[in-house]
Structure 1
Amino acid sequence: MLSLTLKKQYINDLVDWIEANLTDDLNIDLITLKSGYSKWHMQRMFKEMTGQTLAAYTRKRRLTLSAMALRLTRMPLIDIAVRFGFDNQQNFTRVFKNHFSVTPGAFRRIPDLPVKHFHGRIPVRSPIEQAELVMREDDLQLCGEVVEWECKFGDYIHDSEQRVAEQARHFVRFAGQYVERGWLGFQYSPGNSSAEQQHISLFQALESQHAEKLSSQVVNWTANRGLYAMIRWSGTPEQLTRFISDIYYLHLPALGVARRPGKDLLRLDLKASKPDWLIGVFAIPVTKD
């Protein structure tokens, strides 16, 4: 009989493999073959350790990623359907509507991003920090520099080119010389170079009174007052994009909110942060769903 530690490691390794193959022809028989156990034993262990069936987990993750593809790319519905394992667009629309209560086309057009039914990958352990809702009473005036680029949908989380990590590391080195607080603002939208590209905008900012510390290419921006989901975070620059995905797939759904337009802001404590270790608080603009 496997110990609890070995079961956790087994499930974590299996989930890693499932996550890496969500866009492939993934089915229970294939997962069973990968697991090394019988179909009955593998599914029983998965349900015991996670509280959900393997089929339900795989379906919810595929639907979640397909929903994000609808918002972050210009891919046609049929391409998204096929990419995430559906036989045809009609089947995809039926299953999607059953899960999100709207059709894929309607989901793509909603002004706010409804994340209540998003489903994240099973975490190795329960998150130490929990998000909370905070009402910001005042506007926050920021100025900074914007860096923009495009990447293939899904590549941003892995940050294989380490663009986010290197920008964050450079910003901490620079801003930490002058001020105690700095901001990284993240914004995402469909790309323009091809249908499956997503666009990333990274805002590296200080409070407006410190504009003279920046170059001549300064952009002014206001974080408006309103409701925000706030969560503390610390980690390496390389862990930043993975945590942002956890915000959308784990933390915001737990709050039962929708994300409203605006930037995801990471307020960095520059007195405590180092180029290789960031400490700060995320603020995500939300509205009660």
Structure 2
Amino acid sequence: MDMLRGMALFVRIVDKGSITRAADDSGLTPTMIGNHLRALEEHLGMKLLHRTTRQQQLTDFGLHYYERCLEILSMVQDAETVALEAQAEPQGRLRLSFPHAFGLERLMAALRLYMARYPKVDVEISFTDRMVDLLEEGFEAAVRIGELPSSNIIARRLHAHPLVLCAAPDYLARRGTPVRPQDMQEHDCITYRYANGPVEQKQRALWRLHGEEGELQLSVRTRLQMDNGPALREAAAAGLGIVLLPLALVEADLESGRLCRILPAYSFAERPLHLVYLSDRRRSPKLNSFIDFMLEHFSDQPR
């Protein structure tokens, strides 16, 4: 027998209050509805309804089965809706939030490809290093740097930022170039202050690096803190100190000589990068298209 059809007709009988009214509502005869009900009861080996000429009443098993049928039929409807939405063309306005470094240096070239692929999607981007509230602020997706707190969001890992240590030639001419990690103790450093972190300025920052001797933890003196990647780059270029930034943000400056790389034999611990979005079973086609696009261009994770 067709179980889903049998469940649907059983639910209709219960909701309408009688086989006759269920038959009128479904366009079937009462005899056909009754046959479906009997076939379902025989398949289950349990009575679902006590019926008389005047009324019907759910058995204890029938009540539990009715509740489960509602859940199953709702899930089937959700699955059909997802399938229909997947076939729909992505369109509408897509609101996104990106940190400055990723958005400005890595996203723009790829974004041109996305908008060409989906011409009916309009994109609105907020560039901020603050951890936005997707639900409260109306963002459909965001990229976040660093470890994520437990929440109801879905996170897909992206390629992390390689980090490099650099400073302006003018600063190094005045203060000397560090050749060992320990030399950093004598220098001024420009560090990142996380927008959602504590307000007070910290006098020391902890950087983790790897070299031939293994992993080191380097405590450096903070002279200047900012919550904006491009601003940190400009401060370093102005000779205000040594900075640790994503390679993508300073690559052009290193090539031009505007900034100089320091301690190139050492690698610095990369901070995780995630694409995040709400755990909604009915994601729109435009959001699904963007998630797939981001994973295609910025992740090794399967889509």
- Asked whether the two chains share a fold, i.e. TM above 0.5, the reply is no
Tell me which interval the TM-score lies in, with the shorter structure as reference length: under 0.3
- TM-score w.r.t. length of structure 2: 0.20
